[in-house]
Amino acid sequence: MDDTMALSPEHRAGLDRALKAIAEAEAGPTGADLINAPVIDHWRPLRSGSHTIALWGNVSGHPLLGRDTATTSPLLAINVQAGWARTKSRWYALGRPFAALGAELAESMGVNGPAADFIKFALPGYLPLEKPDQLPELLANYIAWVREFDATDRAATGREG
């Protein structure tokens, strides 16, 4: 982003929502956040572009989608052990990961050996995250990018952070 160019009011509002969601992700969910959260089952992290990670999976209890297969807004934080994820737009309770579905299907079909890539699929505009251990670094990089974008816009408009 150019230091002399400010965001439109709509883009600024979107950036402010992202910053609020980042703060919520860093604080972690409350019990109420997770009780009211949609569940994403058979989820898989996907990469879109150089900065964004999203979750794809079977969503239930979503306020707009109800029950459907969906790709989330940008992922900000995930804690698999605690069973939650935070995206730019909302909290999610995590169901089973996609890899578990693939392993179960491979086992039911008598496939021996590693079943991590037993089920392959393509989603236009996204690539599967092949190395899940990269997820924390990628999410930290995305958050840093959002904050840098915010700082650049604030400098261009003379607003304080």
Task: Grade residue 110 by pLDDT with cuts at 50, 70 and 90.
Answer: low
> Rounded to whole angstroms, how far apart are CA atoms 114 and 91?
32
Give the model confidence (pLDDT) of 49-99 as tens digits.
777 999 999 999 877 776 778 889 999 999 999 999 999 999 999 999 877
Tell me what pLDDT residue 102 has.
65
Give the model confidence (pLDDT) of 125-146 as tens digits.
888 877 778 899 999 999 999 9
> Rounded to whole angstroms, how far apart are CA atoms 125 and 141?
20
In percent, the amount of the chain with pLDDT more than 90 equals 54
User: Is the CA virtual torsion 157, 53, 22, 58 positive or negative?
Assistant: positive
The residue extents of the domains of the chain are 9-157
Per the CB < 8 A criterion, the answer to whether 127 and 46 are in contact is yes
